[in-house]
Amino acid sequence: MSRAGDKKGPMRALGAMSGTSLDGVDAAVVVTDGVDLLGFGESDYRPYSDAERAVLRAALGLWPDDDIAAASEVVMRSHEALLTTFRDIDLVGFHGQTLAHEPQGRGTHQIGDGDALAMALGRPVVWDFRSADMELGGEGAPLASFYHHACARWMGADAPVAFLNMGGVGNLTWVDPRLQRPEEPGALLAFDTGPANAPVNDLMQARLGVSFDEDGKLALQGQVESGALELFLGDPYFSRMPPKSLDRNAFPEMMSLVRELEDADAAATLMGMAAASVLRGMEHCPEPPQQLFVTGGGRKNPVLMEMLSVSLDCEVLPVEEVGLDGDMLEAQAFGYLAVRVSRGLPTSCPSTTGVRMAVGGGQVSRAS
């Protein structure tokens, strides 16, 4: 077994991500030297059961001094079960599960024990990616931006492009691939755009007892309520300059704005809010991107994709169009970041999180 940082050249890094949509654990291998993206390995997914999802949902908003034992057990059990199936891994990047994120308040809280996971896997584990950034005044999110820069260079982009992750929360990365290092001024701009799938998922669970609107079928039958959309866009978050980040439950008034609507109209309106958030966010880009590549579960929602396509001036495409895996991009990102951490390279910078200087987050736990 290689100790983190001891191996020279490319590493096979396994990244794991459990997002705010609470659907399950994604795991994916990337081959990288921490600078260039050199290839992709295998990937897999372990969905949460309904019971596990209920435990995690009940823990959202909790902090380390709250009772999080049951949620922690779900996260550790599910990750260990999935990650032990991978072979020939040099290093693991373990994001954990975010329960709370208040960059202007109490900080950020991801559950998951990297020390225990390293012992279980017999591999070095990089984890706690956000704390160092926040200690230097950063928002601690979004963190996939440096990987998006590597992806843009891997696919040969020669002009600015943007990556939009529509998971529980939406986040946007504007990339200028003509600059070689992601921490260079002008190479990146990243921020959370607003709510994405989380409110619709919560609506579906509360009203219909299902975890999400598959293929946007319900929203497709509804109409966006313009009054609710206008009130939503009045939130001061949208006028704040980036970098900026959000918690999963940062817009609690969304549900009250659609409370009186029929199910289909409520779903359509929440999707309209997500799309409008992106449209407002795109106004902050230094120059219009040639293309917008959508990743995360939102790219599978034809209602959301149509809303984005008709609203934006650039081409809107799922990331599969350029050979990337939209289900695994976030997991891959934490594998890539783990290698950067192990080699002393920065993982965030002022234009991605608002941190005072480029910083490498994360701590390394070893198996012995």
The pLDDT value recorded for residue 57 is 93
pLDDT above 60 for 27: yes
Q: What is the pTM of this model?
A: 0.93
The pLDDT value recorded for residue 21 is 81
Tell me the pLDDT tens digit for each residue of 162-202.
999 998 899 999 999 999 999 999 999 999 999 999 899 99
Domain identity same for 240 and 318: yes
Domain identity same for 113 and 252: no
Structural domain that includes position 134? 11-139+330-349+359-365
Contacts of 223 (CB under 8 A, 6+ apart): 265, 268
Domain identity same for 229 and 202: yes
pLDDT above 80 for 7: no
Tell me the pLDDT tens digit for each residue of 88-107.
999 999 999 999 988 878 88
SS3 label, residue 363: strand
Domain identity same for 135 and 205: no
Q: Cα separations (Å) of 136 from 117, 127, 211, 293, 347? A: 27, 18, 37, 30, 13
Q: Cα separations (Å) of 21 from 26, 234, 237, 307? A: 12, 25, 21, 21
The DSSP 8-state label assigned to residue 165 in this structure reads E
Tell me the pLDDT tens digit for each residue of 216-275.
999 999 999 999 999 999 999 999 999 899 878 789 899 999 999 999 999 999 999 999
Domain identity same for 79 and 211: no
- Quick check: is 241 in a domain? yes
From 293, 304, 298, 295, select the one nearest 329 (Cα to Cα). 295
The pLDDT value recorded for residue 341 is 97
Domain identity same for 23 and 95: yes
Separation CA 36–CA 153 (nearest Å): 8
Residue 287's domain is classified under what CATH number?
3.30.420.40
Count of domains for the chain: 2
Helices (H) and strands (E) in the chain, counts: 13, 12
